[in-house]
C-alpha cells in the first residue's frame, strides 16, 4: 500500500444562493456540472486515488462480490401478470446481467414472445438501466425509458411489437413517469437540474419532440409532479405534491388531447389522492381535521367539495394509506396499531367488507401488478421476519390466499 500518494483537492469556488430570504454559501457548487471537463478530471483523479489506496483489499472485494452474487438465483422467472389478452413476465438467465421480458397470448400455454432483451440493448454501453416499461392500449407498441450514461438522464424509446423495430422519440431527461393516453399519444414528466419532476408534456408518435406540448409546469420547487392512470383506463391523473399538500388534475381519456381539470386546488396541509370507479371519483383525504384520512366520493360531473359524500369515516385508530378501485370493490391499504392491513371494501355498511387474513401476525404487504379492472383476484406481495418475499393471489369471493411464488433464500 502506497501511503505517500496525495489525495486530489477540489478547488473552492464560492456560490451564494438565495432561498426563502436566506443566503446559502457553497464552495463546491461547480461540481454539479457533470459534463464539465474540469469536473470529469477531478472525479477521475478521485477514482484513481481510491483505487490506489484500496488495492491491497482487491482480493477481498472480489470475494465479497462473489459471495453476494452466489446468493442470487441467476435463473429466475417472475410471476406472470395479465393485461387484457396477454400475460407478461420477465426472466433472469444465468450469465446474463439484465432481465429479458416476455409475453404470451391468451393463456400461459401459448408460445412465448420475447418483447425486450435488455442484454442486447446494453451490449454497446458501459452502463444501461431500464426505468419504465409501458404497453400501449392496443398492445402493439412498447414505450420504455432508459439511461445509458449513469447520470439518470432517461430517454424514451418505442418498440413496435409487430415489426421489432425500436425508434427514438427524441424525448430526454424524463421524470419517473410516462403513460399512454391512446395508441399514439404519450404523457411524460420532465426533471430539472435538481432531479425534481417538475413538468408534464405530451408527445405524439411520429412527430418532432420540438412539437411536444407543455401541459403543466410546477414552479414551486418544494413540489414534484407525478402521473398515473385509473385502473379502468378512463382517466389520467397528475399530482403536484409537497410533503403536506396535494393538487391533482385529471384528463378524460375519451379525449386524449383534451384539457386537464383541477380536481381540488392546493391548500396548506391538505393531502389527498383520487381514483375512479363506476362514474365516481374516490378521494382519500385528510380534510376537515381527518389526520388519519377518510374516504369520500363524488360524481365525475360534480367534483365540487359540496358534492362529496363520506364512504369511510375518519378513525383515530386506523390510518388510511391509499385505495385501489376494481370493478366490484375497492382495496384499502391501511395501518392499525403499527401494522399494515388490506381491506376489501364493497361499500358503506356492506356485510361483504373484510380485512384479508394473512399467515402471520406481523408482516409487510403491498399491492403488485394489478392491471385488470374486471377481476375478483388481487395480486399481493408479502414478507415477514421469517418469510421471504412471496407473491400471492387473493381470491376475493373465496377469501382465499394462493401462494404463487416464494423468493428462494440461499
pLDDT of residue 3: 58
Tell me which residue has cell 409487430.
Answer: 162
CATH homologous superfamily of 125-264: Prolyl oligopeptidase, N-terminal domain (2.130.10.120)
Q: Is the pLDDT of residue 60 over 70?
A: yes
**Average pLDDT in the 298-324 region?**
97
**Average pLDDT in the 25-34 region?**
91
Instruction: Label residue 37 by pLDDT band (50, 70, 90).
Output: very high
Judge contact between 371 and 82, C-beta under 8 A.
Answer: yes
**Distance separating alpha carbons of residues 282 and 247, to the nearest angstrom:** 15
**Distance separating alpha carbons of residues 403 and 387, to the nearest angstrom:** 12
Instruction: Label residue 247 by pLDDT band (50, 70, 90).
Output: very high
User: What are the residues whose beta carbons fall under 8 Å from the beta carbon of 184, sequence distance 6 or more?
Assistant: 204, 205, 206
pLDDT of residue 44: 95
Write the secondary structure of 225-251 as one string of H (helix), E (strand) and C (coil): EEEEECCCCCEEEEEEEECCECCEEEE
**Distance separating alpha carbons of residues 75 and 69, to the nearest angstrom:** 12
pLDDT of residue 35: 84
pLDDT of residue 71: 82
For 241-394, where are the alpha helices, taking DSSP H only?
A: none
Tell me which residue has cell 408527445.
Answer: 203
Instruction: Label residue 10 by pLDDT band (50, 70, 90).
Output: very high
Instruction: Label residue 83 by pLDDT band (50, 70, 90).
Output: very high
Judge contact between 381 and 390, C-beta under 8 A.
Answer: yes
pLDDT of residue 150: 86
> How far, CA to CA in Å, does 138 sit from each of 44, 114, 156, 161, 308?
47, 17, 19, 11, 35
Q: Is the pLDDT of residue 29 over 80?
A: yes
pLDDT of residue 154: 94
What are the boundaries of each domain within the chain?
15-64, 125-264
246-252 long-range contacts, Cβ below 8 Å, gap at least 24? Answer: 246/270, 246/271, 246/272, 246/273, 248/272, 248/273, 248/274, 249/216, 250/274, 250/281, 251/181
Q: Is the pLDDT of residue 5 over 90?
A: no
Q: Rounded to two decimals, what is the model's pTM? A: 0.88
pLDDT tens for each residue of 350-398: 999 999 999 999 999 999 999 999 999 999 999 999 999 999 999 999 9
**Distance separating alpha carbons of residues 360 and 364, to the nearest angstrom:** 10
pLDDT tens for each residue of 175-220: 889 999 999 999 999 999 889 999 999 999 999 999 999 999 999 9
pLDDT of residue 303: 98
Judge contact between 11 and 20, C-beta under 8 A.
Answer: no
Amino acid at each position: 500500500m502506497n501511503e505517500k500518494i496525495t489525495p486530489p483537492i477540489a478547488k473552492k469556488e464560492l456560490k451564494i444562493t438565495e432561498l426563502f430570504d436566506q443566503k446559502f454559501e457553497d464552495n463546491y457548487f461547480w461540481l454539479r456540472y457533470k459534463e464539465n471537463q474540469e469536473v470529469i478530471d477531478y472525479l477521475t483523479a478521485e477514482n484513481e486515488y481510491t483505487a490506489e489506496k484500496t488495492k491491497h483489499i482487491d482480493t477481498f472485494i472480489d470475494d465479497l462480490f462473489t459471495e453476494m452474487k452466489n446468493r442470487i438465483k441467476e435463473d429466475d422467472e417472475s410471476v406472470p401478470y395479465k393485461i387484457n389478452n396477454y400475460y407478461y413476465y420477465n426472466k433472469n438467465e444465468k450469465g446474463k446481467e439484465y432481465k429479458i421480458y416476455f409475453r404470451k397470448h391468451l393463456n400461459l400455454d401459448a408460445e412465448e414472445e420475447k418483447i425486450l432483451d435488455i442484454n442486447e440493448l446494453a451490449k454497446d454501453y458501459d452502463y444501461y438501466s431500464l426505468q419504465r416499461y409501458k404497453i400501449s392500449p392496443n398492445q402493439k407498441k412498447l414505450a420504455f425509458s432508459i439511461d445509458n450514461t449513469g447520470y439518470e438522464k432517461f430517454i424514451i424509446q418505442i418498440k413496435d411489437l409487430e415489426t421489432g423495430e425500436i425508434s427514438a422519440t427524441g424525448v430526454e431527461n424524463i421524470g419517473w413517469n410516462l403513460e399512454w393516453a391512446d395508441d399514439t399519444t404519450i404523457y411524460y414528466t420532465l426533471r430539472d437540474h435538481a432531479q425534481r419532476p417538475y413538468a408534464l408534456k405530451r408527445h405524439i408518435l411520429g412527430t418532432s419532440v420540438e412539437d411536444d406540448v407543455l401541459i403543466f409546469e410546477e414552479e414551486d420547487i418544494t413540489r414534484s409532479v407525478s402521473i398515473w392512470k385509473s385502473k379502468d383506463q378512463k382517466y389520467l391523473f397528475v399530482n403536484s405534491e409537497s410533503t403536506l399538500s396535494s393538487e391533482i388534475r385529471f384528463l378524460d381519456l375519451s379525449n386524449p388531447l383534451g384539457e386537464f381539470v383541477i380536481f381540488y386546488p392546493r391548500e396548506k396541509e391538505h393531502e389527498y389522492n383520487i381514483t375512479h370507479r363506476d362514474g365516481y371519483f374516490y378521494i382519500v383525504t385528510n380534510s376537515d381535521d381527518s389526520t388519519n384520512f377518510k374516504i369520500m366520493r363524488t360524481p365525475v360531473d360534480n367534483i365540487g367539495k359540496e358534492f362529496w359524500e363520506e364512504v369511510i369515516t375518519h378513525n383515530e385508530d386506523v390510518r388510511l394509506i391509499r385505495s385501489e378501485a376494481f370493478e366490484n370493490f375497492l382495496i384499502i391499504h391501511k395501518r392499525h396499531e403499527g401494522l399494515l392491513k388490506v381491506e376489501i371494501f364493497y361499500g358503506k355498511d356492506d356485510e361483504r367488507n373484510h380485512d384479508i387474513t394473512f399467515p402471520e401476525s406481523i408482516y409487510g404487504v403491498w399491492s403488485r401488478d394489478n392491471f385488470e379492472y374486471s377481476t375478483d383476484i388481487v395480486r399481493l406481495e408479502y414478507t415477514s421476519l421469517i418469510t421471504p418475499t412471496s407473491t400471492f393471489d387473493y381470491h376475493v369471493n373465496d377469501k382465499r390466499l394462493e401462494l404463487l411464488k416464494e423468493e428462494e433464500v440461499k
